[in-house]
Amino acid sequence: MSERTYRAIADPTRRAILDRLRQGPANANALAGNFVTSRPAISKHLRILRESGLVIDKPSGRERIYHLNAAPLGEVFGWLGDYRTFWQSSLDQLKRNLEEET
Amino acid sequence: MSTARAIADVTDGVIVATIDIRVPPERVFRALTSEEIIQWWVRPGVFDTREWVGDVRVGGRWRASGIGNGKPYTLEGEFTEVDPPRKLVHTWSPVGPALPPSIVTYTLEQIEGGTRLTLRHSGIVAPAMFENTSVGWEVSLETLVELLSAEAA
């Protein structure tokens, strides 16, 4: 279980950055323009996201372009997937029970 | 829709599922708020809820326990909205690990010939998102993962 991944997505601003990067790569300026959070705070979030592997930065001229790398989220999806299956299976059972009565 | 369709949103930690049931909303609501839960929080061979008690009013608590893959588990929570037969909201926490509670919202809508039940389970977080984890904690969560796993033993 990758603690870095979970920590990275535990923060709403970082999740918002990931959401933004889903639309395409961006540099730090463009990203900061999307948030009221201060530029240094955004840099810190980007560092945590880079360390988690969820964001990859590539140099382009004098700046860095940030890209989304969703691969580490696979683990998180596994965790959520268990809940998904629990509810799907339980709701199907509920339907069978209630409709069999009638 | 004949069977439940559940969707997971990874970034938000949300599960959403909808199912149509050919009984009135009042009947469905009763199944969500009574010991009847032990008849449907069940998947043969994977998890089996054996006990459920609940004080169904805002601020009242519920507790469920059973066996998942041969290991005991307990879940508990608090009712935060009780509006029969339209809406029910309660928190959901595994007993043991110090996780913030997730939130289960059921919405019941009368449709022709029955009820459309929509489930939203939000705020689901993985254990390692939180600091101060301990080994004992990880073990409890592992039990929960197994409990909720669809894979037959």
> Is B16:B6 a contact under the CB 8 Å cutoff?
yes
A68 contacts on B by Cβ (under 8 Å): none
Closest CA to A95 of B22, B15, B121, B27: B22
CATH number given to B5-148: 3.30.530.20
Q: Give the per-residue pLDDT at B132.
A: 33
Beta-carbon separation of B126 and A101 below 8 A: no
Q: For chain A, list the domains and their CATH numbers.
A: 3-101 (1.10.10.10)
CA gap B120, B104 in Å, rounded: 6
pLDDT of residue B126: 58
Distance from CA of B3 to the nearest CA of A (A): 6
Q: Where are the beta strands (DSSP E) in chain A?
A: 26-27, 55-60, 63-68
Of A2, A84, A89, the CB nearest to B15: A84
A28, β-bridge pairs: none
Nearest residue, CB atoms, B10 vs list A77, A94, A97: A77
Residues of chain B with pLDDT under 50: 1, 127-153
Angle at A54 (CA atoms; ends A49, A60), nearest 5 degrees: 80
CA distance A41 to chain B (A): 20
Query: Which residue numbers in chain A have pLDDT < 50?
Result: 1
Beta bridge partners of B48: B42, B67
pLDDT of the residue at A72: 73
Check: CB of residue B68 under 8 Å from CB of residue B45: no
The domain segmentation of chain B, as residue ranges, is: 5-148
Cross-chain CB nearest to B124 (options A83, A101, A102): A83
Asked if A11 has any chain B CB less than 8 Å from its own CB, the reply is: no
The per-residue pLDDT for A74 is 63
CA neighbor of B6 nearest in space, from B17, B19, B22: B17
- Give the pLDDT score at B51: 96
> Which residue among B12, B36, B121 places its CB closest to the CB of A83?
B121
Q: Is B36 exposed, middle or buried (0-12, 13-18, 19+ CB in 10 A)?
A: middle
Contacts with B4 from chain A: Cβ below 8 Å? 87-89, 91-92, 95
Identify the pLDDT of residue B98. 61
Q: Please give the residue of chain B at the shortest CA–CA distance from A89.
A: B43
Q: What is the pLDDT of residue A84?
A: 82
Least Cα separation, residue B133 to chain A (angstroms)? 10
